[in-house]
Amino acid sequence: MSNLPTKSEIETAAETVYAAMAPTPQYAWPLLAAASGADVWVKHENHTPTGAFKVRGGLVHMAKLRTRKPGIKGVIAATRGNHGQSIAYGARANGIDAVIVVPEGNSAEKNAAMQAFGAELVVHGHDFQAALEYAEGLAGERGLEMIPSFAVELAHGVATYGMELLTAVPDMETLYVPIGLGSGITGCIAAREALGLTTEIVGVVAENAPAYALSFARGEAVSTNSADTFADGLACRVPAVDAVPIICEHAARVITVSEDEIKAAIRLYYTATHHLVEGAGAAALAALMQERAAMAGKTVGVVLSGGNIDRALYQEIISSD
């Protein structure tokens, strides 16, 4: 698809990303291999300055915006956390003011992190979609540039982690990628295409937030009435219309994982790697465990997209069976 970032565009984006952070590691953990029966490579996007992959997109998008609109008043975004942190971080790095809108009941720790990165925090609405619609209105009122959670410009930066992983493990047969609004899986698809590889890319969504699975099955954007999952990075009920065609054309499949499967993957990450993982970050491993019979003996990748989980929730999950 023509709007996927090219190899040269991803390499240019990498220069911006690496000016602010080092490439993240990918490790093959023996205990994950033992649990899954596959040769499992984990892409550790919990090792970024914001604890999640999205900072790559924020850095690149804000740098481009500063160049394109040097007199910009500020930016605004709606988020459940990681997108907002990425925009706040990228905006601060480029001398741009950021306003971040979150829904009521959002992660207190993610809210605190966004404010620590210099953002003005606004709380509004019962879920992400309500916060997004409010942010869009506020953008007009205050003359701010609206930054959506999915944009091809964000995928340019996000694709750098896909390039790192697939360059390090070019014989990877299947890569599981969580889908929030689509920048992660789009970036991985772009990296695979840029490198000319045949890696099967599998999207993963929460069973309680199945918009992208429904969209993939129908071949067009399908919204849902709710997205009731503790994995806030997956809590999408209205898919990004620009992301759906890319995923439908290039992904092998989109599968759903239950709340219990995600929680089990969080516990498995702890016992096998001693890494703190948020719900969305554990979804890819949950999908691999669901498909482990088919993946036995294969070289597979799972994207640990972030580790930003509130302490009380993590304590509850890690203490249960």
Residues 6+ apart with CB under 8 A from 65: 72, 75, 94, 96, 145
pTM tops 0.85: yes
With pLDDT > 70 as the criterion, what percentage of the chain qualifies?
Answer: 99
Q: Please give the average per-residue pLDDT across 307-319, as a whole number.
A: 94
pLDDT recorded at residue 283: 98
Question: Is-contact 162 191, C-beta < 8 A?
Answer: yes
Domain with CATH 3.40.50.1100 in the chain: 7-53+152-319, 55-146
* Mean pLDDT comparison of 2-16, 78-92, 209-223, highest-scoring range: 209-223
| Calpha distance 233→276 (Å, rounded) | 15
The pair of structure tokens assigned to 180 is: 């929030």
How does pLDDT run across 116-153, given as a tens digit for each residue?
A: 999 999 999 998 889 999 999 999 999 999 998 888 78
**What is the amino acid identity at position 218?**
R
Q: Please give the average per-residue pLDDT across 3-31, as a whole number.
A: 96
Give the 3-state secondary structure of 31-73. HHHHHHCCEEEEEEHHHCCCCECCHHHHHHHHHHHHHHCCCCC
7-53+152-319: CATH, from 3.40.50.1100, 3.40.190.80, 3.40.640.10, 3.40.50.300: 3.40.50.1100
pLDDT above 60: residue 99: yes
pLDDT above 70: residue 1: no
pLDDT-derived band at 314 (thresholds 50, 70, 90) equals very high
pLDDT recorded at residue 14: 97
300 burial via Cβ count (<10 Å: 0-12, 13-18, 19+) = buried
Closest CA to 59 of 30, 83, 42: 83
Q: Please give the average per-residue pLDDT across 281-292, as a whole number.
A: 98
pLDDT-derived band at 82 (thresholds 50, 70, 90) equals confident
pLDDT recorded at residue 107: 85
The domain defined by 55-146 folds into: Rossmann fold (3.40.50)
